[in-house]
Amino acid sequence: MTKNKENKQQGLTVLTPEDHFFFECHQGLDCFTRCCRNITIFLTPYDILRMKNGLKMSSEDFLSTYTATLVGDSGLPVVALKMQDDEEKSCPFVTSKGCKIYEDRPWSCRIYPLKPESTKITEKSEKEYYSVMDVSFCLGLSEDKVLTVKKWKEEQGISIYRAMENFFKKITMNEFLSNKKISNKNIQDMYYMACYDLDRFRRFVFESKFLKLFEVKPETMENLKKDDVELYKFAMRWLEYGLLGQQVLKVKPDVIKAKKQETGIE
């Protein structure tokens, strides 16, 4: 059986972490960087965090320069990488020698040529399954290098992306939201800011009434000022509180008391 045929067969087969596939990408292949063209790449919040920091850009500048915003089935914003306006619709970071931001490339670029095969059941059980994409032009699938799914994920640094995405999935995969269509512009903007526009979210925390409403430990506030990962985790907690009604943030007692007095509840 040839490499291509075996991979194509595996593409129809769910792979466990210990299963193997054939793949190697390098500049000697005629198809090198072709997978970086004429493709839609959706970005996760952690993708954007890594990319904008790697480029030393603010989240606002990165989003306006390199992304396009769409509306998902739930009515909430989805962010995609904006391709160049050339004949091939190339990724703005691709060159003849490869990716300019390789160390901070998005999750979907890292996992290629694998494709997650997940369902709500596998997500709840925290089990992972993949298949090999059937990409006809990809000569890397004919190379001799044998990899297990587990080894490939380790080489590509997938674990931190998966860990960070779990915070995001607590929002996006919540059954409460799956049964709703969000049309409120303020909620859409709140979600976009917390997920994607972290620098604006930081200003919101420190320059609005936020800290007058919620109890936030001093050490937490210091972390939020300088650590984007901690800021992102906090933003996801804020969405859990505001969107899903989860009591993951603590409102200050005097705020609760004032609200009770305002509504006549004693």
Question: Helix 228-244 to helix 198-207 angle, to the nearest 10 degrees?
Answer: 70
Of residues 261 and 33, more confidently modeled = 33
Mean pLDDT is lowest, of 105-114, 153-162, 186-195, 241-250, for: 241-250
Specify whether 207 is located in the same domain as 239: yes
Specify whether 157 is located in the same domain as 182: no
Specify whether 137 is located in the same domain as 32: yes
5 — alpha (psi -120 to 50), left (phi > 0) or beta?
A: alpha
Separation CA 168–CA 123 (nearest Å): 13
If you average pLDDT over residues 51-73, what whole number do you get? 96
Of residues 178 and 115, more confidently modeled = 115
Q: pLDDT band for position 253 (50/70/90)? A: confident
Q: pLDDT band for position 121 (50/70/90)? A: low
The pTM of the full predicted model, rounded to 2 decimals, is 0.89
Specify whether 50 is located in the same domain as 141: yes
Specify whether 191 is located in the same domain as 102: no
Return phi, psi of residue 41, to 5°: -115, 110
What pLDDT score was predicted for residue 256? 73
- DSSP character at residue 162: H
**Joined tokens for residue 162:** 């998966």
What pLDDT score was predicted for residue 127? 76
What pLDDT score was predicted for residue 2? 47
What pLDDT score was predicted for residue 11? 42
Number of domains forming the structure of the chain? 2
- DSSP character at residue 55: T
Q: What rounded mean pLDDT belongs to the chain?
A: 90
Specify whether 86 is located in the same domain as 32: yes
What pLDDT score was predicted for residue 74? 86
The last residue of one of the domains, among 118, 149, 168, is: 168
Residue 252 has pLDDT above 80, yes or no: yes
Residue 7: give the domain boundaries: 3-168
Specify whether 19 is located in the same domain as 147: yes
Residue 12 has pLDDT above 60, yes or no: no
Q: Reduced to 3 states, what is the DSSP secondary structure of residue 88?
A: coil
Q: Do 137 and 34 touch, CB atoms closer than 8 A?
A: yes
Residue 259 has pLDDT above 70, yes or no: no
What pLDDT score was predicted for residue 1? 41
Separation CA 261–CA 245 (nearest Å): 22
The last residue of one of the domains, among 168, 186, 220, is: 168
Q: Is 181 exposed, middle or buried (0-12, 13-18, 19+ CB in 10 A)?
A: exposed
What pLDDT score was predicted for residue 124? 63
Selection from 114, 113, 106, 109 nearest residue 16 by Cα: 114
